[in-house]
Structure 1
């Protein structure tokens, strides 16, 4: 990171319980004493660290004769920000919600004031919504960051942003405030919510934050977040319940025992923990459906097949082979896979409102892992080869001249129904994986054209469109797809440009990864079990829960470390595998589940469910991606 001398411009604000500013004062350069509302505040600013972060100590005294229920807010500003760019790791990216995104969640827009529509020029959130409790802003010529820990002597902290004309403000607030509304995962927001702290007359409270100026390069967040991660590694330990080989065995058993249905040969997407719900051994709550990729289907059948080949499990090999056979025997009229299978209606389209639409990411992921299955011992089955070629040829032939591979494809006639977003990224890895089928080099050429096109999303620090269920929102899954794509291009070509894009994509992906352990109430499930969140990923700003999908690129992150000589990416991959070797039921009855059932959602903040809960559904992809990562670590000699 380029060095920017000195701490940014700071001010201290006092807010009453309604959020109204009752007093404020600019902090002198280098710190000093200021008065804001009822508070006398001594501000001490430390020397910069290696990454330029300055520690800020606030000694806050209530010097009035009355108790004060309210907040202290530390604000940093950057000028020349008529068109600001924001980053709250895992929570807020640029405008955050593109204007044409169908999914509703917080969006920034200059001068906007539409709380009901969740569109505003200012936002404040509780810190545990963020993978790192920090907020960044960039103007045309510089940037700024402020950060805090999740908890303070005043209770949970908050972070936020606001635009004032050409000035961008970022803040930390003690205790937190959610404003102008509270997002709880639905299209209808909840009212603003805030923590409560009462300063008694004469009371002194010591608060801590950090801040830094930044260069104009939006990627300047990367060394800051790496520094925070390094500081937290020993302070926020993660203790897996089981070894890597044991986790693989349990996850594989869960897929076969709970998700595999031999008639017709599917991995059911969800299975309820409680097998007595509504009678019928829990089946009324099991989702009788299978996507061809993404949340079920071929990727996790591949992981099961790899495990079966390594461990000698005939049951795993048989189940995995049957699932892949079923998918490959049922291609859509357009030549690609279908989107998903449903018990009631058979093969059909993806989760998209576009009639006959098949989602590019799901198709690409299914094809990628089919190609990997072909590379396993005994995997060269003619029907699999034919299905792989059909998919590859169909998507290659639809590629636009600028490299865009399309986002939604018509199941019947193959027309591209949407070119928006970056969901085509996964196809880059698939084309690269098909080297043994690429006699004329057209697959690699398609991958390179696509690599050029989708580079703009990585360079802009806004990758979006990968999951079927959140439309055009930026998500952690977009990052995984980008990492897999550009590592694959570098593997095939050795070109330095692809390696640099892979590194940038990995840094962006890791903004979603928690660098600290959220504190849970002791009687919540996550609190009782002592679940450590460090290494888990926020799914997206729209889906604010932890998930394990980042395990899908475990091998690629290790490969990136080997190619760059930087162990950081491999360490972060192993950290994620450690995180999700927690809460694994090793016997029936553990975690209120059965052996091998793996949840999709860990609620680390107030979204969808109260903080500290977990979703009592086992997901095929959750078991599958854990199995995949464990098999990749075992094959690559990763730590147990």
Structure 2
């Protein structure tokens, strides 16, 4: 077997199987496998021991048994993007009467060092800092406090993961297990443990959620441990894959790419329309349902059910506007571009009025206020402290105000108030920047002090400053951006980028990945330094761990099943906000340029997936999936979190509509390469 050496150890009950990666020199670096019957929980299991082994050139067959089961296992070495083992298990129940139980395939990682983890889209490293204000599962080597969602072991449903795989690292190597979302025993599961007793990863058939089920940050549920009812003589077949890589934190990437390559063939896309139709519909939706001509804002939400909205005094609509992120400048820019290019004056005027509103909303420290509310006016947004303004929201607004200025200048239009506002924001970023390049994540709205230095919430200042440097011909901005690129690379190289959204304090999110891609692609375009290109690729690869490679099996009578919604190409919002969202469209232009610079078709394919996925569920006419023409939901529920799997949130969000409008227009230049509609 080319990559894997298989070793056996005679023990009292039979054999232990060891999978040793031959390309690693350390003899301590191997994974030790045993199949287990999960009856009462993680720590009480019925072991299957191996009684017979046959070996050929690329294949090993194992036969074993336990008290209730006979197991035949076939391990075959495979090589695609990387080398891995395909494992097939035939399990026969030999009991005399029915038994409720599940099967667990567990591998122990032999070696030293505290482990680190990744379940794509669902769990990253320790996943949450102890001081984080947002509650969601956290790994604690010493056990932690389960009431605070802390534990040294976790097990999850596979549908929480963008790719149903569990990765573990120690000082010597990376090991991973993968299985498909669904098995002959139903929904599968993923798990891990790491403490003084050792490190292990496993697959559950059917799933188990332990020690607590993460239903929402404010509503954790008890453990959910599914079992299968076995009948005498029943035979079940299960499949999974084993991967071993080196100890680098990027060792996940070859296996993710290989599984994606296979899933491309297995799980088809299903776009409902082409890019032009999507732009037409979302321009209509953003203007008709979200633009407020009285206050010149883009309302953050519009309820699907307009009768209900009338019955509750309009409370289904949210008459608020963030200047970036969930509303504001990015989407006004997209509407402005559509209006000018298609001669729709109403759209152009509305977008211009929104930009005017944002430009008028400078805080005492010279940067944009984060949010405007009816009856309250300007404020700080959804931050941990009501005196704080968050760097990501402000820098994103600044970036798209600069882009709007550039666009308008090309059309012979000048906006002096926009220029003054943008200058004020960029000057603040330069002024508050630390000597090492850090812009900080939160600013006191009255004093201008940096209140939180941790996180990468300020990374988008890089993009805003680079585009500002070109527009204003100011090298100070360019130098600040380059210095920041040196600082923020630590988050990318550590494969743990966190702190972007206001509402999930210091949390790793897909949005952090998007922002890093935008920042480093623009840095590469500034001076063609290959280091920036490598960082762009690393950020993009990490971003792809949030992106679905497969199509979820939605329950039969749910809305997403009835719509035949294909999840391949969608992104998990974050380990804290576990739902599918379309914010990845934010970096479509940078991803397409990254593909051209690298000639790596993986980036083109996965960006095509992202676009194709969200050319679904744009309301084509009033009544389409109970929405109105041009509406787009914010949330598609992929698992037992917030709402039942297969539901969608019955609110249209300005950002969810606007980011499709933005990406659909930006992607038009690549329409021939994308070939989304065949």
TM-score using structure 2 length: 0.92
Aligned to 2:576: 542
Q: Are positions 1:201 and 2:232 aligned together?
A: yes
**Contact conserved, 2:457 with 2:498, CA < 8 A, in 1?**
yes
Structure 1 residue 113: Cα displacement: 4.8
**Contact conserved, 1:544 with 1:607, CA < 8 A, in 2?**
yes
Unaligned runs of 5+ residues in structure 2 are 7-18, 20-30
Structure 1 residue 438: Cα displacement: 4.9
Aligned to 2:477: 443
**Contact conserved, 1:146 with 1:170, CA < 8 A, in 2?**
yes
Distance 1:318 1:438 in 2: 25
How many residue pairs align between the two structures?
639
Q: Secondary structure at the match of 1:191?
A: strand
| 1:37-56 matched pairs, under 5 angstroms | 37-50=67-80, 51-56=82-87
Higher mean alpha-carbon deviation, 198-207 vs 290-299, is at 198-207
Aligned to 1:222: 253
Of Structure 1 and Structure 2, the greater strand share is in: 2
Aligned to 1:621: 655
Aligned to 2:145: 114
Distance 1:242 1:22 in 2: 51
Higher mean alpha-carbon deviation, 13-22 vs 623-632, is at 13-22
- The C-alpha deviation readout for 1:543-587, integer Å capped at 9, x for no partner, is 110000000000111111111111211221121111011111111
Which one of 138, 145, 156 corresponds to residue 125 of structure 1?
156
Q: Secondary structure at the match of 2:556?
A: coil
Structure 1 residue 9: Cα displacement: 2.2
Which one of 285, 288, 296 corresponds to residue 319 of structure 2?
288
Higher mean alpha-carbon deviation, 469-478 vs 374-383, is at 374-383
Aligned to 1:167: 198
Distance 1:4 1:293 in 2: 50
**Contact conserved, 1:298 with 1:327, CA < 8 A, in 2?**
yes
Distance 1:298 1:104 in 2: 30
Q: Are positions 1:555 and 2:586 aligned together?
A: no
Distance 1:282 1:500 in 2: 52
**Contact conserved, 1:276 with 1:282, CA < 8 A, in 2?**
no
Q: Are positions 1:332 and 2:368 aligned together?
A: no
What's the RMSD between the two structures over aligned residues? 1.7
Distance 1:305 1:268 in 2: 16
**Contact conserved, 2:135 with 2:218, CA < 8 A, in 1?**
yes
Structure 1 residue 37: Cα displacement: 4.0
Structure 1 residue 279: Cα displacement: 2.7
Higher mean alpha-carbon deviation, 170-179 vs 40-49, is at 40-49
Q: Residues 109 and 238 from structure 1, CA distance in 2 versus in 1: closer, same or farther, beyond 3 angstroms?
A: same
Q: Are positions 1:178 and 2:209 aligned together?
A: yes
Q: Residues 210 and 321 from structure 1, CA distance in 2 versus in 1: closer, same or farther, beyond 3 angstroms?
A: same
Distance 2:101 2:212 in 1: 18
Structure 1 residue 106: Cα displacement: 0.5
Structure 1 residue 524: Cα displacement: 0.5
**Contact conserved, 1:58 with 1:208, CA < 8 A, in 2?**
yes
**Contact conserved, 1:32 with 1:44, CA < 8 A, in 2?**
yes
Higher mean alpha-carbon deviation, 208-217 vs 195-204, is at 195-204
Q: Residues 282 and 494 from structure 1, CA distance in 2 versus in 1: closer, same or farther, beyond 3 angstroms?
A: farther
Distance 2:188 2:255 in 1: 19
Which one of 419, 430, 433 corresponds to residue 399 of structure 1?
433
Structure 1 residue 195: Cα displacement: 2.3
**Contact conserved, 2:469 with 2:476, CA < 8 A, in 1?**
no
TM-score using structure 1 length: 0.97
Distance 2:248 2:3 in 1: 12
Distance 2:103 2:427 in 1: 60
Distance 1:568 1:46 in 2: 26
- The C-alpha deviation readout for 1:374-422, integer Å capped at 9, x for no partner, is 1113353111111111100111110000111010112222111111111
Aligned to 2:44: 21
- The C-alpha deviation readout for 1:461-509, integer Å capped at 9, x for no partner, is 1110000011111100000000001001001110000000000000000
Which one of 287, 293, 304 corresponds to residue 262 of structure 1?
293
Q: Are positions 1:434 and 2:468 aligned together?
A: yes
Distance 1:98 1:36 in 2: 41
**Contact conserved, 1:82 with 1:167, CA < 8 A, in 2?**
no
Structure 1 residue 201: Cα displacement: 1.6
**Contact conserved, 1:432 with 1:444, CA < 8 A, in 2?**
yes
Q: Secondary structure at the match of 1:181?
A: strand
Q: Residues 590 and 188 from structure 1, CA distance in 2 versus in 1: closer, same or farther, beyond 3 angstroms?
A: closer
Which one of 528, 545, 550 corresponds to residue 511 of structure 1?
545
- The C-alpha deviation readout for 1:32-86, integer Å capped at 9, x for no partner, is 1222342221111011323112110111111222322111111122223441110
Unaligned runs of 5+ residues in structure 1 are none
Distance 1:444 1:170 in 2: 46
Which one of 61, 72, 82 corresponds to residue 92 of structure 2?
61
Distance 2:415 2:220 in 1: 51
Which one of 617, 622, 629 corresponds to residue 583 of structure 1?
617
- The C-alpha deviation readout for 1:585-631, integer Å capped at 9, x for no partner, is 11111110100111000001110001110000000000000011100
Distance 2:301 2:112 in 1: 46
Aligned to 2:179: 148
**Contact conserved, 1:526 with 1:612, CA < 8 A, in 2?**
yes
| 1:80-119 matched pairs, under 5 angstroms | 80-119=111-150
| 1:380-399 matched pairs, under 5 angstroms | 380-399=414-433
Aligned to 1:639: 675
Aligned to 2:353: 322
**Contact conserved, 2:384 with 2:505, CA < 8 A, in 1?**
no
